[in-house]
Amino acid sequence: MKKLIFKKILLDITFFFLLVSLSLTLIVWVIQAVNYLDFVTEDGHSLKVYFSYTILSLPKIFNKILPFIIFVSTFYIITVYEKNNELVIFWTYGISKINFINIIFQFSIFFIVLKIFLSVFLVPLTQEKARSFIKTSSVDFFPQLLKEKKFIDTVSDLTIFIDSKNNNGELKNIFLKEKISEDIFKVIYAKSGMLVDNNNMQYLLLQDGIFMNYDNQKNTFFKFKNTEFNLSEYSSKSTTYPKIQERETLQLLECFFSKKIKNKNYSAIQFSCDENSINSVTEELARRIIMPFYIPVTLILSSLLIFRSSENSNYIKFKIGIFLLTLIIIIFSEIMIRYVGLSNFHTILFSVAPFTLIVFSYLLIFLNINKWKYQNK
């Protein structure tokens, strides 16, 4: 009978968790998708690219809200059990309060593993894929990018301006500035032109213009009747440099140990691993590896609800107190992680905090168990 009761508890929490996860993830996804619409369309990408990019953000969204969802699910199910007097039935069939809490704690281990998998493997992979997808799609984004009477500088090392564009695709008064280096750049002005595709390559066919080459040594100018400018080698600035959040966990670990522990450089590190970036690397590693261990804390605290009956006069206050305390811990973890990497103290504090809170929570449980036994003698 105990096994059936434990199975019911886990199934109830899992079902509500899946329901809330689906609903809340979709809500957050829609909100972010609206924000991504400006980001992607301003870079000139198609709706297909936009939709694929937003889909790849789903693991990141779910990973972010997972601790809050599992806490709310556990809190809600225990509240329902108390309201329906199911907890009394559990105690009648020999389920002790410590057994109930232990099964919740064991259940939390699954969500620790799930969040570590998402944080360490899936989220960095999908974020990198999203950026790569936008970058590789740059071959066809110029038709959407070119707008009348607007300087476009979202393309890496290139600024484009067109005065007008007619229904036939003909462009008027075209200005191009290409940055070669800090001191060298090219400027092209053409009276007219047209954007054309050739074997999946995009070109600007320019007519009646002037080419200007500026550098420290010599400036050159010449006129042209017809010329072409290859656009396919350019991509959006937003896809040039991957963020720390998109890096593989192995790369971050190599950077961390090279700077924090062994103080030597790893040739395999594929990004700038220096004193300026090590704080961000440490923060990201803590977010991926340590943050999941705050999940058991929230579930154990939710389990404290079993020590108060709904018939108790201060039950509502107790329930609100537990909810607020757990919410504060979730917010605390999100705030503290921003200070990880600034000093060894902050890093150690954030790392040991979840395990300390688990021990503290169990102390509270044993105190409540003794108090409950005393009141029921």
Interval 145-167: pLDDT, tens: 667 777 776 666 778 888 888 87
Quickly count: other Cβ atoms within 10 Å of residue 89's Cβ. Answer: 12
Outline where 118-248 has alpha helix (H): 123-136, 142-145
pLDDT of residue 264: 45
Domain ranges, ordered by start, for the chain: 2-136+242-375, 142-235
User: Is the CB of residue 193 less than 8 Å from the CB of residue 171?
Assistant: yes
Residue with the two structure tokens 């092209």: 188
Which of 372 and 214 is assigned the larger pLDDT? 214
pLDDT of residue 310: 78
Confidence of residue 239 (pLDDT cuts 50, 70, 90): low
User: Model's pTM, two decimal places?
Assistant: 0.74
pLDDT of residue 235: 60
Average pLDDT over residues 317-332: 91
First to last CA, the chain: 26
Distance of CA 157 to the CA centre of its chain: 28
DSSP 95: -
pLDDT of residue 262: 47
Examine the pLDDT at 294 and tell me if it is beyond 90.
yes
**CB-based burial label for 324 (10 Å; 0-12, 13-18, 19+):** exposed
pLDDT of residue 241: 58
Examine the pLDDT at 292 and tell me if it is beyond 80.
yes
Classify the phi-psi angles of 212: left when phi > 0, otherwise alpha if psi is within -120 to 50, otherwise beta: beta
Average pLDDT over residues 21-36: 86
356: amino acid identity, one letter:
T
Q: Which residues share a beta bridge with 159? A: 177
Q: What percent of the chain has pLDDT over 70?
A: 81
Examine the pLDDT at 272 and tell me if it is beyond 90.
no
